[in-house]
Amino acid sequence: MPEDLPAVTVYTDGGADPNPGPGGWGAVLIHPASGRVSELSGGEPHSTNNRMELTAAIRALEALERRCRVRLVTDSQYLRLGVTRWLPGWAERGWRRKRGEVQNLDLWRRLAELASEHEIVWDWVKGHSGDPHNERADRLASAAIRAQRAPRAAAAAPRTEVFLRVSAAAGRGAWAALVRRPGSGEEELLRGEADGASANQVDLLAAAELLERLPPGEAVAVHTGSDYLRHGATRWLPAWRRRGWRTQEGQPVRNRELWERLDAAAAARAVEWPEVKGEETPELARLGQLLRGKPAPAPAPRGTRRARRSGGPAGPADGPGDA
């Protein structure tokens, strides 16, 4: 007679921002029999997206006190395919790939040990697609990343703060930015336009121009609500450069000239891209009102300059899979 195992559903997520950089992971454990839901999270000061995805699954399975029937749901194909397709072959070859060593070997070994202790079905869900438990695991991981970043930010040298907001509609692109230099207490409001540009192109144009206005070597934090801009600058650019400005699928990177301009501007300065998703700052809210033509309650800026730039033709965005 088969063993009567308790059932548990586990949602996991993990990441690093930038990648590599401060990492965080989160897990949501649901026990259908009792209706109990428990949450786990943690982080590391220096990690990668893949290591945090693996760590989330490991910590969730370690939390189970007895053998269980587990449905583990992840938005990481690296984790799911690694366990269901690649791991058996690695083990047979002495924990080696057909070409080279297995990356994150310590975590894969531990995950294999834990997986053998349970009956597990590995499911995949598309990230940020509205699944409430996947979204919760993502928020836990993001909070853990911020917690890892906090001590470093507190000890960091004074830096210039840049808040950037863009809009693009009916072929008209515009951006507004607030620049706040350390110690002065003063703000500078900058605005620009980019006819015929998409929102992604306006993001890149504005960010490059703002950085180019700052002295080389200056420490600067760019606050933006655009994942395309922030993830591109922190995660995708290194991979694109290595592949000769091509995506994982071998296609040319869209908006390459703008990305190269931004890359050069950022390389000449100490740039950070703080995460603001889900917790929009007051400065970004003010800039959004300004772009919508509404009065924005704000301290009087030190100066206002208007810059006009022409963007390229609008086009679809490169997604995270292109990194």
Nearest CA to 119 out of 196, 56, 41, 66 is that of 66
Tell me which of 17, 53, 161, 203 is the catalytic residue.
Answer: 53
CA distance readout (Å), 261 to 146, 207, 212, 268, 317? 28, 10, 9, 11, 17
Judged by DSSP in three states, 67 sits in: coil
Tell me which of 123, 128, 257, 319 is the catalytic residue.
Answer: 128
Give the Cβ contact number of residue 106 at 10 Å: 10
Whether 75 sits among the annotated catalytic residues: the reply is yes
Tell me which of 17, 44, 135, 138 is the catalytic residue.
Answer: 138
Tell me which of 13, 44, 135, 322 is the catalytic residue.
Answer: 13
Whether 17 sits among the annotated catalytic residues: the reply is no
Whether 173 sits among the annotated catalytic residues: the reply is no
Whether 123 sits among the annotated catalytic residues: the reply is no
216: its two tokens: 């080389």
Alpha helices in the chain (DSSP H): 49-62, 77-81, 87-92, 105-115, 132-155, 199-213, 227-231, 237-242, 256-267, 282-291
Nearest CA to 214 out of 177, 167, 261, 268 is that of 268
Strand bridging mode 119-124 / 69-74: parallel
Whether 53 sits among the annotated catalytic residues: the reply is yes
Beta-bridge partners for 191: 176, 306
Nearest CA to 149 out of 22, 35, 235 is that of 22
Give the Cβ contact number of residue 150 at 10 Å: 11
Nearest CA to 29 out of 17, 21, 19, 37 is that of 37
Whether 195 sits among the annotated catalytic residues: the reply is no
Query: CA torsion sign, 111 to 112 to 114 to 118?
Result: positive
Give every CB contact of residue 31 below 8 A, 6+ residues apart in sequence: 6, 7, 8, 37, 38
Q: Are 42 and 24 in contact (CB under 8 A)?
A: yes
Tell me which of 44, 75, 135, 161 is the catalytic residue.
Answer: 75
Strand bridging mode 21-31 / 36-47: antiparallel
Q: Supply the residues annotated as catalytic.
A: 13-14, 53, 75, 128, 138
